[in-house]
Chains A and B, each alone.
Chain A
Amino acid sequence: MSKPTSASPAAGAPAAQRRRFLAGLAAGVIGTIVAVVPTIPGIAFLLHPLLKKKKAGAAEGDGYVKITTVEAIPKDGSPRAFPVQMDIQDAWNKYPDRQVGSVFLSRNEDGQLKCFSCVCPHLGCTINYEEKAKLYLCPCHASSFKLDGERENQIPPRSMDPLEVRVNEKNEVEVKYQTFRAGTSERKVVS
């Protein structure tokens, strides 16, 4: 675009050139507006997962979920996997009482309960318990963990994720079910 130079020697040209420059400027500005504005709601829409505010009252109670009874957990300290059932909201649908994952529960001689998430902190596969080796083993990339959840090799970035556990007045075991970010040495809750 040629810049208007008020001192242009061409006769009659300065006014015409200025007009042309202003028309070009206006066309550029308005053109940009009409090109950009329609994309704004589109981009905001696509960014919805990052922009949305958590609905008030979405999480019911204190986050503890009933898993099983104390008696169902072996007394010898060996862990057992239990399914976690809760209501899930998947976009527009509400599914009542669906299995959302599982947890390992174990009980030592003193009756102390221990709970680990079955989700591998490495990359999110589901961990199995190997009875013979007395090890937790992830089938995906061979992460392995000892009975106390300590990592046994360097594949996972951190030890297994412990979950808070409590026994209610009906002798039922409740767990505060949470998911954590995979692949990081720091344990961060995914909300």
Chain B
Amino acid sequence: MKLFLNWLDDRTGYRDLMHEALREHIPGGARWRYVWGSTLTFVFMVQVVTGFALWAGYSPSSGTAWESVYYIQHEMTLGSVLRGVHHFAAQAMVVLMAVHLMQVVIDGAYKAPREMNFWLGLVLMQIVLGLGLTGYLLPWDQKGYYATRVATEIMGSTPGIGPQIQQLAQGGPSYGHHTLTRFFALHAGILPALLVAFLALHIYVFRRHGITAKQPYRKPDSEFWPDQVLMDAVACLAILATLLLLAVWKGAELSAPANPASGFSAARPEWYYLFLFRFLKFGWVSHAGEVTGLGEAFGAVVLPGILMTIIALMPFIARVKGGHKFNVGFLVLVVLGSVGLTGVALYEDWIADTADGRSFRAAVAQAHKDGQRAVALSQAPAGIPPEGAISLLLNDPLTQGPRLFQTRCSDCHRWQGQDGLGNDVVQIDESALDAPAKPVAAKAPDLATFGSRAWIKGLLSNFAEHMKSTENATVMAEKARELPGGTMAEWSKENSAALNSEANKASFEAIVEFLYTQSGRSDALPQNDPKVLAGREIFQSGKLADGELTTACADCHTMILPGETEPLSASGEPILTGYGGKDWLKQMLLNPDAHYGESNAMPAFHGQLSDHELDMITRWIIGEYYLPPEEPTKESPTTE
């Protein structure tokens, strides 16, 4: 063994190298305060290792980026841990960098002869921030997409060369495949290579000047090995444990695939850019940008640039009397300012009971829901089609239906008392935006249970109550207000007791079942089921087990049963053929007069909804969409 090591040393000189690496002189002995540089190097190595592995699973194009990240996160071995560690280590680097910088300034380690190394460190800081920015886009999810777009728009708003820089970053006038290939090349190639080069120089120069020992010395001088190495290793272990814990416990989020066509109200940069984000929201910053002609670049580029320049000049400032104190004070101010702005931004988003805060939190909840839905659909047996996962959401009734309901229907109707997207329908008081919002009464029935058995029961036995909300109607108001007192309401009043009597329990259920079957929904019984046939008989004759209906349904309503040439009843409105089914509902939206004739109180949406929109909203209302097996009927409108 010794012979071999001698041979090896002879050829490589590894002993000198080891000696050089481990026998570094540490005046005053090892101390915990010296670990920061080592931890940064360690976290960078973690990024290299996890990054290379992630690279092997990642596909940079706008049709595959989200999909490959989804696959890494949810299908591949330890993919979620890997991605989680990479995600949190990136943030750890920013934090450690700030600590490292503060310590260097406070301990005066930036002063001569270490100026050059101080500047190398500042360059490294820019590279790390660049890595964070470019990495955030790569999953091509809503979060990363919109946050990064803001960053490139800021680039583009820089006077002069801004638009050119923006185009170069984006790989064209707008976001697309080449934005990803370029960001990926920066993130996985150019920036890491630069980082390695500058880190090597940084460490080399550091070794040349040695550690900036903190006075007074507590212990006799020692060497890097073993005490300082042990402290460094323990610090790295603590960081690693934290990263693993966060990766397993919280994990890296993957929001819904980027959709350039839809807005994203939950857009925020990564938390360590929040201070800048909040800074740009100040009125005076925008104003100064306008006055100076620099636009957004004033707050986002010029001012931070001035701060960075002052920091870079610190070695020179320190030569003046009191300069070091100024430097420390300045940095503390910058850090406190950033922390303060971050705190304000977090408070406004997550705690403040303001209109903006509330809508941001609602948008985050919605984004979270969309992200989960995109994953559920990707895991469905139908899988991700070649067009990519975005088409899954665009063609998903459960995703699109509520949005359409909110914009088109929630003025009058409600969905479980809300607007379909899970928000209360409130009156917005322009003069007091942040005041607690007042709920608005519905002007038409709640459609969450539309067409269900419970709905039909309510219509038959308690029509006036069921249609009560139409009293508030403002659209087609006259007709609508008549409904709770119309002929059907009267019929319902007269027959309610009979239908609800114990003796007619089976009869009532049968007629409900017969009507429900017309919808052809997945849980509807076949037309020839005995229960349905019994209901059909009552529909036609009005004869209950005990007594008789004042008027049989067939006397007033048209009903043509599927597959039968002879109509069950041929005249009268509303028409109940296919009641509660997709086609009936489509007709109800396009041309409700066709169903309800004279007594219709619903505006027609003919020409206002595309075929696709019509398909999405009707399928959502009747519950025709994919649900993952773990949570069946959780969102199904038929549950009550």
Residues of A within 8 A of B (CB): 20, 23-24, 26-27, 30-31, 33-35, 37-48, 51-52, 89, 91-96
Contacts and interface: CB of A to CB of B under 8 A. Distances in A.
Given A33-B237, A92-B71, A92-B378, A41 B226 contact: no
A94 B67 CA distance: 11
B360 interface: no
Given A45-B82, A47-B77, 8 more contacts: A23-B230, A24-B230, A27-B229, A30-B230, A41-B53, A45-B72, A45-B78, A48-B77
10 tightest CB-CB pairs across the interface, nearest first?
A: A94-B383, A42-B53, A24-B226, A27-B230, A30-B233, A41-B78, A92-B71, A92-B67, A27-B229, A23-B226
Nearest to B82: A41
Nearest to B52: A42
A45 B72 CA distance: 9
Contacts of B263: none
A41 B50 contact: yes
A26 B230 contact: yes
Contacts of B45: 35, 38
Contact of B383 (A20, A27, A41, A93): A93
Given A92-B70, A94-B383, A94-B385, A45 B226 contact: no
Contacts of A31: 229, 233, 236
Interface centre among A30, A43, A93, A95 (most CB of B within 10 A): A93
Nearest to A87: B383
Contacts of A39: 49
B234 interface: yes
Contacts of A45: 53-54, 56-57, 72, 76-79, 82
A27 B385 contact: no
Contacts of A96: 385
B535 to A, nearest CB: 39
A17 to B, nearest CB: 12
Nearest to A51: B77
B227 interface: yes
A96 B85 CA distance: 35
B216 interface: no
A34 B233 contact: yes
A165 B177 CA distance: 44
A117 to B, nearest CB: 26
A24 to B, nearest CB: 4
Interface in B40-68: 42, 45-46, 49-50, 52-54, 56-57, 64, 67-68
Interface residues of B, number: 42
Interface of B: 42, 45-46, 49-50, 52-54, 56-57, 64, 67-68, 70-72, 75-79, 81-82, 85, 225-227, 229-230, 233-234, 236-237, 240, 244, 378, 382-386, 389
B386 A38 contact: no
A47 B57 CA distance: 11
A46 B72 CA distance: 11
B356 to A, nearest CB: 37
A91 B389 CA distance: 13
A93 B386 contact: yes
Contacts of B49: 38-39, 42
A94 B378 CA distance: 10
A94 B237 CA distance: 42
A131 to B, nearest CB: 37
Contacts of B226: 20, 23-24, 26-27
A38 B57 CA distance: 17
Contacts of B67: 92-93
B42 A34 contact: yes
17 contacts: A26-B226, A26-B230, A27-B225, A30-B234, A33-B237, A37-B240, A38-B45, A38-B240, A41-B82, A42-B49, A42-B50, A46-B53, A48-B77, A48-B79, A92-B75, A94-B385, A96-B385
Given A26-B230, A92-B71, A41 B382 contact: no
Contacts of A93: 67, 383-386
Given A93-B384, A93-B385, A93-B386, A52 B233 contact: no
